[in-house]
């Protein structure tokens, strides 16, 4: 029983790491990249994201 519980613990830790890494990558990829340029009555505004 002790050997199986250790194996389950290792597998559980790996699953948590994979899910956490996937969430981090999704969050980073969903950020808009590049520049934002707006033209208004005050002139041209350029912001880098």
Domain ranges in the chain are 2-48
pLDDT higher at 22 or 36: 22
Residue 31's SS3 state is coil
Share of the chain above pLDDT 90, in %: 41
pLDDT score of 4: 85
C-beta separation of 46 from 34 below 8 A: no
9 token code pair: 């613990």
Place of tokens 């340029």: 37
pLDDT score of 32: 73
pLDDT score of 1: 54
């Amino acid at each position: 029983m002790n050997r199986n519980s250790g194996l389950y613990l290792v597998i559980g830790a790996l699953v948590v790491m994979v899910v956490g890494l996937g969430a981090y990558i999704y969050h980073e990829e969903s950020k808009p990249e590049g520049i934002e340029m707006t033209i208004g009555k005050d002139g041209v505004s350029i912001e880098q994201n």
